[in-house]
Amino acid sequence: MPLQMNRRLKVGVVGLGRMGRRHAHNILHSVPNASLIRACSPAPADLEWAKEALQPYDVKMVTSFGEMLETSGLEAVIIASSTFLHASQSKAALEKGIHVLCEKPLSKSIEEMEEVLAFAQTKKASLMVAFVRRFDDNYREARAQLDRQEIGRPVVIRSQHCEKLDTSEPYKQYLADSGGIFVDSIIHDIDLALFFLGEESKPKSVSAVGAAACHTQLTAMGDADNAVGICEFWDGKIAFFYNPRMTNYGYDNATEIFGTGGRLAINLNPRPNAIEMTDEGGYVKIPSHSGWYQRYAAAFVNEAQAWVDAVLAGGEMPVPLKSSLAALKIAAALQESLRSGERIKFDQSGERIVEKWNKASL
């Protein structure tokens, strides 16, 4: 179905923390076929921010998500609230016939996510889970080269996601509530593995190791601030993941894909610009990205634009829901392997075969 020309999708944003504010700004200023008409948060700090950033553009603020869903003409919502609200708010919006773009994770519970996805299939409105790296220009070009078989058949992917060290108390609390390094962070690399190796690839086994080098409190939680995971797929492909949360030079996200006819390397030398400085001692200094948002600022706009276009066209969402669920299943298994030291196995349909496994135990 073609895009509805000269029509702007009426959008609301719930949650105005670090992600919600960026989504609101992007819809307001960078997605021409969308209009931000409502924003929702009960937090006083968010309401103060909205007075300066949103109200001059006639964006109305509410403190209740239920009230926002009753907004006349509201067609779509971006959910960037606390993770524990994602599933219930997604269902409430879908029930009202309102399209949803939900920040990952939709849920930390596989069982709850399966329930929401089954619910979504009974509704006319669409649901998409946000995995922003798919919308980065470099990764999209790499995917296009894979589709053209320029390196033959992809066999191995190595993806690292190095986060800048943050020892603040709010970040420590964030880590405690995150669900673990694989579920919270490495899930992005897992999604990339599915994006590049094939959405239909089914996990055969996973294993993980880790260490709490800087955030030592994570040891008692069965978590780590440095983690390595390996996923073997039934079709013979392999994914290798590495994520430290202690990088002192900036944000570093690099990926390599090895195929039967070559290799693709994406962002192996991360840098925000092409400037190099040589000091008086002859040392060459190359800047790095200050954080994940600087690295993916353009990709967040691409993601919002692709979602709006798909909603207006009545087409398939750019991120398949089955892949979002598969990524969570792999991440949860890797998190369990990190805690237990055991290799976790799957059957050929991609379901865990461990007896008495509680799918909701994250």
Q: What is the pLDDT along the chain (362 residues), one digit of tens a residue?
A: 455 557 899 999 999 998 999 999 999 999 999 999 999 999 999 999 999 999 999 999 999 999 999 999 999 999 999 999 999 999 999 999 999 999 999 999 999 999 999 999 999 999 999 999 999 999 999 999 999 999 999 999 999 989 889 999 999 999 998 899 999 999 999 999 999 999 999 999 999 999 999 999 999 999 999 999 999 999 999 999 999 999 888 788 899 999 999 999 998 877 776 667 777 888 777 777 777 778 889 999 999 999 999 999 999 999 999 999 999 999 999 999 999 999 999 999 999 986 554 444 45
**pLDDT (0 to 100) of residue 141:** 97
DSSP state of 73: T
Residue 58 CA, distance from chain mean position: 30
DSSP state of 139: H
Instruction: Give CA–CA dist 211/226, Å, rounded.
Output: 5
**pLDDT (0 to 100) of residue 293:** 75
Burial class (CB in 10 A: 0-12, 13-18, 19+), 244: buried
**pLDDT (0 to 100) of residue 3:** 54
Instruction: Give CA–CA dist 101/91, Å, rounded.
Output: 12
Asked whether 92 and 85 are in contact (CB, 8 A), the reply is no
Peptide bond into 105 cis (omega under 30): yes
Domain closes at, from 97, 113, 130:
130
Task: Tell me, yes or no, whether 319 lies in a domain.
Answer: no
Task: Tell me, yes or no, whether 316 lies in a domain.
Answer: no
Instruction: Give CA–CA dist 73/212, Å, rounded.
Output: 49
Instruction: Give CA–CA dist 248/37, Å, rounded.
Output: 40
Asked if residue 199 and residue 123 are part of one domain, the reply reads no
Radius of gyration of the chain (CA): 21
pTM of this prediction?
0.91
**pLDDT (0 to 100) of residue 357:** 47
Which domain range does residue 228 map to? 137-296+324-345
Asked if residue 192 and residue 90 are part of one domain, the reply reads no
Instruction: Give CA–CA dist 313/290, Å, rounded.
Output: 36
Q: What is the 3-state secondary structure (H, E, C) of 234-247?
A: CCCCEEEEEEECCE
Residue 273 sits in a domain of what CATH number? 3.30.360.10
176: left (phi over 0), alpha (psi -120 to 50) or beta: alpha
**pLDDT (0 to 100) of residue 4:** 57
Asked if residue 331 and residue 227 are part of one domain, the reply reads yes
Task: Tell me, yes or no, whether 46 lies in a domain.
Answer: yes
Asked if residue 190 and residue 64 are part of one domain, the reply reads no
Asked whether 66 and 40 are in contact (CB, 8 A), the reply is no
